[in-house]
Structure 1
Amino acid sequence: MTGLTFRKKAEPEERLDLSPLVPAQLAGLSAADIAGLKVGTSRLGVTVGDIFEVSGDDPATIRFEGGSPRFDRIGEAMEAGEIFVQGDAGMRLGRMLKGGRIVVSGSAGDHAGSAMEGGVVRIAGNAGDRLGGPLAGEMMGQKGGTLIVGGNAGARAGDRMRRGVISIAGDAGPDAGSRMIAGTLIIQGRAAGTPGRLMKRGTLFLCGGVEHLAPTFLDNGPADILILSVMSRTFAAGEVGSVPFGRQPMRRYGGDTAVLGLGEIFLPL
């Protein structure tokens, strides 16, 4: 058996909802059944066969050969298996992911990893706004799992984060970690705006410095180097990989006291 491959024929003329293309929903379907699945978001009734050449027969591993910023909701609510995207992905990549792995060689749109509960999402390029964050009206963002971005992230990464790890190798847009409830957010580049605003708990590493830090965070002095070293070794041995704070002196700030928060922000000395 070979993995199920979706080879893009041409750039779609509309945004696509690719949430049906996950292992659990494709298991047992014939090639004709898969080609007939509707993925369009307009009245045109676009199907999988209109956009992709489909090959392979094992839905446990899914490959998109040729990505697009219009490929929305890839891997949504997936429970197991693997999805590989060659190129870019659209909005809501890996939203509500429960297990398995999603790997994107390009960039992803807004709300990647939104409300994910487990598994791994790895984006080689940049991510849009509200990485791991909730949709409008939702009370919690990321609830577990690991979300890794090789480039930069947009505004409010980790908004209302409840559990899990987000690692951003580049810079982060304004107000990363806003309203965090728990979890760990690592930004290796520079953080814009006022990160950690209204966070109640959780840990925020700002390894490349920060534009502003809210005055409602309290300076707790230099961080314990031993604890940071242990944490960095743990990340290096797992999905996140090497992080700079294991060899970088850091200062700890507690807050946000505007909401009687028990969170912590680490900044380079």
Structure 2
Amino acid sequence: MSAITLRLKQTPGFRVDASPLLPAKLAPLPVAEIARIVLPAGNESCLTGELFEISRADSETAALAIDGDVRWLDRLGAHLGEGNLTLHGSCGDYAGYRMAGGELRIEGDAGAFSGCGMSGGRLTITGNSGDFAAGTLPGDMEGMTGGTLTIHGNVGARLGDRMRRGLVLVGGDAGECAASRLVAGTLGIAGRLGAHYGYGMRRGTLLLTQAPDRLPPTFTEGGFGFDVFWSLLVRSLANEIAPFSTLRATSLPRRYAGDLAVDGRGELLIVG
């Protein structure tokens, strides 16, 4: 296998689709062939070699690293199924779109729709993310359906909209309508919440490590008999980001059920 490194050479002045740049696809190719890969850019297109300096080294696994601030680069890691993709910088929208496996790490910020339609693998964003992370595209019925999304910073509105499965952890604040229309899965937020969190929530778990300013009127207290579930959840978070990794099974959170406006059976867990 090979580890490919792309170092930013020039900025194109328009948005570019990075979905052809996948580790397993690039690993067997010579540098000259990688340079000729066409990257869509709306009504335009450009070659990988026009934007990046390309180098390669031997590796036990398929790996791709991109060095540079590429906020104009959308769909980074889209449909990723295997291998490791690392960005040393910030990127545009749809990072990890419909990824099904492998690992995508963004050492910076990401735009809107991070992890949208994600079904597997691990997506890590060390900075902030925009709106609709782990959410759904307009017209779709499902958001994230599997995998793990970790955002160390803040996230925008509609986090986990229509999320159906998987784990999402946010180390900072979340915008309005977090966990809106949540169907299943676990969504943890360490910071402050925007308005209307849990709106239309049907099932799933919203875990808060900081008490919100107010509770939604359509959630009701109902907090007994989940000791075993809490113990398993805490164990599963032990290797994740703080403060989730520091939770203790012996300290039960407060539990609320909702959204009752949609006959929801979701749970809101508040630690502390």
After superposition, residues 35-54 of structure 1 pair within 5 angstroms as 35-54=35-54
Query: How far apart, CA to CA, are the structure 1 residues paired with 2:175 and 2:224?
Result: 26
1:89 to 88, 91, 94: 91
Give the aligned CA root-mean-square deviation in angstroms.
2.1
- What residue in structure 1 maps to residue 260 of structure 2? 257
CA contact (8 A) 2:209 2:243 kept: no
Query: How far apart, CA to CA, are the structure 1 residues paired with 2:122 and 2:256?
Result: 29
Residue 85 of structure 1, CA deviation: 0.3
Residue 89 of structure 1, CA deviation: 1.4
After superposition, residues 180-195 of structure 1 pair within 5 angstroms as 180-195=182-197
Task: Provide Cα deviations, 1:31-57, integer angstroms capped at 9, x if missing partner.
Answer: 222212221414443211111011116
Structure 2 residue matching 1:69: 3-state secondary structure: coil
CA contact (8 A) 2:211 2:270 kept: yes
Q: Please tell me the residue identity of whatever aligns with 2:18.
A: L
Identity of aligned residues (%): 40
CA contact (8 A) 1:190 1:207 kept: no
Query: How far apart, CA to CA, are the structure 1 residues paired with 2:183 and 2:241?
Result: 21
Query: How far apart, CA to CA, are the structure 2 residues paired with 1:224 and 1:40?
Result: 50
Query: How far apart, CA to CA, are the structure 2 residues paired with 1:236 and 1:242?
Result: 10
**Structure 2: which 5+ residue stretches go unaligned?**
none
- What residue in structure 2 maps to residue 3 of structure 1? 3
- What residue in structure 2 maps to residue 15 of structure 1? 15
Structure 2 residue matching 1:63: 3-state secondary structure: strand
TM-score scaled by structure 1?
Answer: 0.92
CA contact (8 A) 1:193 1:212 kept: no
Residue 71 of structure 1, CA deviation: 1.2
CA contact (8 A) 1:223 1:250 kept: no
Q: Please tell me the residue identity of whatever aligns with 1:250.
A: P
CA shift in 2, pair 1:250/1:109, >3 Å: same
- What residue in structure 2 maps to residue 33 of structure 1? 33
How many residues are paired up? 268
CA contact (8 A) 1:189 1:209 kept: no
Query: How far apart, CA to CA, are the structure 2 residues paired with 1:195 and 1:123?
Result: 22
CA contact (8 A) 2:4 2:65 kept: yes
Residue 252 of structure 1, CA deviation: 0.8
Residue 242 of structure 1, CA deviation: 4.9
Residue 210 of structure 1, CA deviation: 2.3
Query: How far apart, CA to CA, are the structure 1 residues paired with 2:224 and 2:193?
Result: 20
User: Bigger CA drift: 249-258 or 27-36?
Assistant: 27-36
CA contact (8 A) 2:24 2:63 kept: no
Query: How far apart, CA to CA, are the structure 2 residues paired with 1:20 and 1:57?
Result: 20
Q: Please tell me the residue identity of whatever aligns with 1:12.
A: P
CA shift in 2, pair 1:2/1:24, >3 Å: closer
- What residue in structure 2 maps to residue 157 of structure 1? 159
TM-score scaled by structure 2?
Answer: 0.91
Q: Which runs of 4+ in 1 moved over 4 A?
A: 221-227, 239-242
User: Bigger CA drift: 259-268 or 228-237?
Assistant: 228-237
User: Bigger CA drift: 59-68 or 35-44?
Assistant: 35-44
CA shift in 2, pair 1:27/1:56, >3 Å: closer
2:202 to 158, 183, 200: 200
Query: How far apart, CA to CA, are the structure 2 residues paired with 1:27 and 1:82?
Result: 11
- What residue in structure 2 maps to residue 108 of structure 1? 110
User: Bigger CA drift: 40-49 or 17-26?
Assistant: 40-49
